Amino acid sequence: MKFPDRFFITGTDTNVGKTVVSALLTQGLNATYWKPIQSGRDPLTDTEYIRQVTDLDESHFLQERFCLTAPLSPHAAAALDGVDIALSDFELPTAIAPPLIVEGAGGLMVPLNQQDLMLDLIKYLDLPVCLVARSSLGTINHTLLSLAQLRRANIPILGVILNGTKNPGNREAIAHYGQVAILGELEPLAAINPNTLRTAFQQMFEI
């Protein structure tokens, strides 16, 4: 799999593992990571967590545009902080070595403000998407709905990465009904650190 110079990682839902997948790809591709909107820290921000588990130096990480206090949807967390989020607040950095991995907050239909969704931010940044989905029960519906939204918005889809214990039936159904490439499957890791992430990346992409 050859990844583009810049791409966006989103998930079918919250807590589907997109930050762990982002860590795996940041480590494996020696990439730069950017989380434009961070809602809450538990106890670390996603940027801090990925830096910790990859052990990459600070040059691989860009500062969040918004770092909101509450672990809520961006529109709700921003309201609590008295912050207004607009698409024009975001600009892709140019003076960095590729690849650049941009991770969203929540799923595609999470609101940023009164009119824009995470989907609109992806469209605004003009990035192709890697969709992270859980492997377990319920994933077919969530994944097909997410793929449909991406296609409705004419956003290029790189493929799907399934996170969790392998489920061949769900993998086959998503590939068939979603007409999408399954880029890989990330099984639960006993520990998350540079070595396990590097090994999982190599196994996933047969490098």
Alpha helices in the chain (DSSP H): 18-29, 46-54, 74-81, 118-125, 139-152, 168-178, 194-205
Nearest alpha carbon to residue 31 among 69, 3, 68:
3
Catalytic residue ranges: 35
Check if the beta carbon of residue 11 is closer than 8 Å to that of residue 106: yes
Query: pLDDT tens, 8-59?
Result: 999 999 889 999 999 999 999 999 999 999 999 889 999 999 999 999 999 9
63-89 pLDDT tens trace: 999 999 999 999 999 999 999 999 999
Instruction: List, for residues 41-54, the tens digit of each pLDDT value.
Output: 889 999 999 999 99
Please say if the pLDDT value at position 207 is more than 80: no
Amino acid in the structure at residue 128? P
